[in-house]
Homo-oligomer: A and B are copies of this chain.
Amino acid sequence: MDRKERIILDDILNGDKIFYRNISVDNVIFGYHERELKVLLFKNTSQEKWLLPGGYVKKDETLEKAAHRVVRYRTNLKKLHLHQFFAFSNPERNKNTHFTPELLTTITGQKVTTDHWLLDNFISVAFFTLVDYYEVKPTGSFYAEECQWWDITNLPEMAFDHREIIDQALLSLRFFSHVSPIGKEMLPEKFTIPELQSLYETILGKKLDNRNFVKKMTNIGLIEKLDEKRNIGKHRSPFLYRFNQARYDALAKGEEFIVF
């Protein structure tokens, strides 16, 4: 048995001493790429269904720290802003786990009964986070796993209630985008107005009026026009903009609201 296998074995057998019982975290990691909103999912190569990156919560850490640990592992990003949005608690939500007393007995070589901590139901506190698609290195864990981006409008079959968690995360993100600025994590430092508007339209799932959009963004002082243009073709060189950091931070604090 190698070191990694020993760690797994120890977690299965003694996890109830390290982790809270009945509580897990799940993460909806949103990226933005070519006008599509993406979610980072993984699956075991031997399984059919895809999963949200999640994990258990150590007894000496907060939910936030546990979620952060998971997202960091999956993305290889250090600077992350997680948003806790809902705790999912359907008593049936874990009933399709592939863990059984028999399987755990086989894995551990010790008699595992139905009261084992891994066989209990888990209430999952879910977080969403916005990341820079281009910075992420999708990472499966050390046993055979695939990890990749999926377009939110074209998701694969998901395990447990993870599809519901994604749907709820998208609603929360839309809600959030109405009251707080978004974009800093998902756009390059300099961007054109159409690029910014596309991001908002993709997240909100609807077209926005061009003129109102620019007016709104400019009036609240969220963006600054630069003395610089991008050449995207003959006769097409739109001005570049960037976020005003101070205004962005003030708006993120909820002192004012952006509404479309």
Which A residues lie at the B interface, using CB under 8 A? 20-23, 57, 59-64, 84, 86-87, 89-91, 121, 123, 125, 171, 175, 178-179, 254, 257, 259
Q: A21-B20, A179-B175 are in contact. Are A89 and B64 (CB under 8 A)?
A: yes
Q: Least Cβ distance of A87 to chain B in Å?
A: 5
Complex Cα–Cα for A245 and B159 (A):
39
What residues of B have a CB within 8 angstroms of the CB of A21 in the complex? 20-22
Q: Which residue of B lies closest to A126 (CB)?
A: B87
What residues of B have a CB within 8 angstroms of the CB of A175 in the complex? 179, 254
Complex Cα–Cα for A254 and B121 (A):
32
Q: Which residue of B lies closest to A61 (CB)?
A: B91
Verify B60–A89 contact, CB threshold 8 A: no
Tell me how many chains of this kind the complex includes. Answer: 2
Q: Which of B23, B64, B84, B257 contacts A23 (CB 8 A)?
A: B23
Complex Cα–Cα for A62 and B61 (A):
24
Verify A62–B91 contact, CB threshold 8 A: yes
Verify B84–A62 contact, CB threshold 8 A: no
Complex Cα–Cα for A62 and B64 (A):
22
Leading 3 A-B pairs by shortest Cβ distance: A21-B21, A63-B89, A20-B22
What residues of B have a CB within 8 angstroms of the CB of A23 in the complex? 22-23, 123
What residues of B have a CB within 8 angstroms of the CB of A57 in the complex? 89, 123
Q: Least Cβ distance of A27 to chain B in Å?
A: 14
Q: Least Cβ distance of A176 to chain B in Å?
A: 10
Q: Which of B60, B90, B123, B257 contacts A91 (CB 8 A)?
A: B60
- Of the A-B pairs whose beta carbons lie under 8 Å apart in the complex, a sample of 16, sorted by A's number, is A20-B22, A21-B21, A22-B22, A57-B89, A57-B123, A59-B91, A61-B91, A62-B89, A62-B91, A63-B123, A84-B86, A84-B87, A87-B87, A89-B125, A178-B257, A257-B259
